[in-house]
A and B are shown apart, each in its own frame.
Chain A
Amino acid sequence: MSNQPFTHLDVLESESIHIMREVAAECKNPALLFSGGKDSIVMLRLAEKAFRPARFPFPLVHIDTEHNFPEVIACRDKLASDLGERLIVRSLDDSIKKGTIVLKNADQGRNAFQSVTLLETIAEFGFDACIGGARRDEEKARAKERIFSFRDEFGQWDPKNQRPELWDTYNTRVHAGENIRVFPISNWTEMDIWEYIAREKLYIPDIYYAHEREVIRRDNGVLPVSHLVQPRSGEKVEKLVVRFRTVGDMTCTCPVESHARNAQEIIEETAITRITERGATRMDDQTSEASMELRKKEGYF
């Protein structure tokens, strides 16, 4: 007989570990996408649980937009170094210099261009699998994506032609030049992530917790003032107590007003919030009802 009933976090954790080990065993040259954001920090802990006492059987890879919050980059470097794992960083600026990314203007949002640098990095290192921290509860297109999500040689996702995924028996096979994106925390929700951060006492960038910050109001959102976002004429700089629910591109990631100073208080706040994670914080997801789906078809993770 089984002893104690397992909690949802135990079951989700075991599922994620199982997925990571399948990647390690079946893929020739995998990589773990790691940004220093909360979901990818959860992924690091899951990788520790999956592979310790050995080292990870893959490097960590970050596609840096150069629009990241400095606190997040600092956290990324600290965690990679604390764990003693190899971190590969490739920058959108490299692609811009090469001319493979052409910006309309210098300070436009860069989330959509990550695909270009990601695909270049995949080609550079010959990765056949990229493990990412995307979750199905984040967005409607992701709700339909497989855990092992096949990409063709252009890195494209074809939502109408996905491989059926049954039981926990994952098809990891690709031909040369193709690759698989793997999402071990597909079945986790924002709440699960915060509960896990609290349970595991994970170190995350402090901008996830309430702090005072200078902001401006623009396009129905609140934007943090930074070297990339300066008040335009007529815009007033305010000081608000805020936290970030996601930490992406500084030019389009909006904080929410909050006094939650630790994971437990965020769990309480998340339990009663009435706005989705991306709806509240990502201006680039609001351009149209299908914006994520279009980006994914172009190779976005």
Chain B
Amino acid sequence: MSNTTQLLRFITAGSVDDGKSTLIGRLLHDSKSIFEDQLSAITKTSERRGGMGAVDLSLLTDGLQAEREQGITIDVAYRYFATPKRKFIIGDTPGHEQYTRNMVTAASTANLAVILIDARKGVLTQTRRHTFITSLVGVPHIVLAVNKMDMVGYSKETFDAICAEYRAFAAQLGLHEMTCIPMSALNGDMVVERGENLNWYQGSPLLELLENVVIDHDINTIDFRYPVQWVCRPQTQEYHDFRGYMGRIESGVIAAGDEITILPSGRTTKVKEIVTYDGNLQRACAPQSVTLTLTDEIDISRGDMFVKSAAMPQVSKEFEAMLCWLSESPLDLNRKYIIKHTTRVVKCLFARLEYRVDVNTLEHHSSATLNMNDIARVAMKVQQPLVFDSYTKNRFTGSFIVIDEATNNTVAAGMII
């Protein structure tokens, strides 16, 4: 493995019937990421279930005992594989209707989404749902995998028609950049190898695309945002006066000597040093975790944010957001909840429920509450001001989770508008 291998996180969206598990199994199998003991375990299971000789590659992604019993995937599972070019993390999400929340969860960290379509069925309601969630959560790259091409005689006309319909739908969501690939995960056409059956297709097989898609620009490289995580005061002889602000650069670049603004207070100062275990740096950028020292002594604590940019974030106690309700207990508009946004934890309440989005039709409906898997636009009020950007500008400073103080459960995911 070279020293410049990059990491790509992607999700696969589609139902069991679309051959999603088979596709992941194929990717792992053909990229030689499956080990003999894993293969022998699924071979045994395939035989026990009365499989017809061929090993069922979809069994590779079955995780928990309950799933093995029910034969379905019930949660988000993460898979890892590597090629000489890249390391991959697959967020494997189930395609069942009641699991919108799982897809939102997996999509939140993904660089890319593979949306699966059964070539015989074309663009379905669930395809629209998956695409909507992908755009809502701001996954930067989309691949439409038109699977089961073997079942439609590898027809170019069928593929072209599905792609045209899909592109028209995606354009309504403002999605214009995507790649459509015809494939047969079952036979291995256009997954890792090109195969012999889709010679009319000029593009890359899926794996080649995953290896080469440019992800350097997925992080905002312009606006420096640095939420303070932890104040480092060693109080040892050697570091008697050392006061370092530890955190991860969520976006942008910083250099020693740069002037920064501390929010929400609005005070300005300069970066004295960028300290790391491996020595001080002249400059650092997202997603590095560093320690910053400053030229002035200012009262700073966890939850404050250092920024440097022409575009300043908003500092406000009120904002609107798109929300995905994740909990089995519905939203109670009379209650206060807790928001965790970057490194800041504050009390919040829901001022207004603007509308709920029907994820199948994209229609807006009025709603008195939110249930699990609902997606809605809401107006929120928080007790202390938050320092934020809109989610479309910055995934890190535009996102938050909602926690129910009574149960401590994570009940919603929010994206600031």
Residues of A at the B interface (CB closer than 8 Å) are 1-3, 5-8, 10-15, 17-18, 21-22, 24-26, 48-55, 136-137, 140-141, 143-144, 150, 159-160, 162-171, 173-175, 186-187, 189, 191-192, 195, 267, 271, 273-276, 279-280, 289-290, 293-294
Contact = CB atoms under 8 A, between A and B. Distances in A.
A45 to B, nearest CB: 8
Contacts of B316: none
B187 interface: no
Contacts of B77: 140, 143-144
Contact of A2 (B221, B247, B343): B221
Contact of A275 (B5, B37, B75): B37
A264 to B, nearest CB: 11
Q: Is the interface of B mostly helix, strand, loop or mixed?
A: mixed
B176 interface: no
A189 B80 contact: yes
B216 A167 contact: no
B37 to A, nearest CB: 3
Interface stretch (B12-20, B103-111, B329-337, B378-386): B103-111
A17 B230 CA distance: 11
A25 B229 contact: yes
A189 B75 contact: no
B287 A14 contact: yes
A25 B230 contact: yes
A3 B285 contact: yes
B388 interface: no
Interface in B336-370: 338, 340-343, 345
Contacts of B62: 140
B63 A141 contact: yes
B68 interface: yes
A192 B226 CA distance: 27
Contacts of A25: 229-230, 302, 343
Given A3-B283, A290-B68, A52 B401 contact: no
A141 B318 CA distance: 41
B310 to A, nearest CB: 15
Interface in B274-308: 275-278, 283, 285-289, 302
Contacts of B109: 166-168
Most B C-beta atoms less than 10 A away, residue of A6, A169, A294 = A169
A166 B7 contact: no
B403 A143 contact: no
Given A3-B285, A143-B77, A271-B1, A289 B41 contact: yes
B78 A21 contact: no
A160 B395 contact: no
Interface stretch (B117-125, B233-241, B261-269): B233-241
Contact of B79 (A18, A143, A174, A274): A143
10 nearest CB pairs, A to B: A279-B37, A8-B7, A17-B289, A54-B234, A173-B408, A49-B277, A166-B108, A290-B65, A8-B87, A14-B289
Contacts of B236: 53-54
A51 B78 contact: no
Contacts of A137: 80
Given A11-B287, A140-B62, 4 more contacts: A54-B235, A171-B410, A189-B82, A290-B65
30 contacts: A3-B285, A7-B5, A21-B247, A25-B229, A48-B277, A54-B236, A140-B62, A140-B64, A141-B64, A143-B63, A143-B78, A144-B63, A144-B64, A144-B76, A159-B75, A163-B410, A164-B413, A166-B410, A167-B108, A169-B400, A171-B340, A171-B401, A173-B338, A186-B78, A187-B89, A189-B87, A274-B36, A275-B35, A289-B65, A289-B68
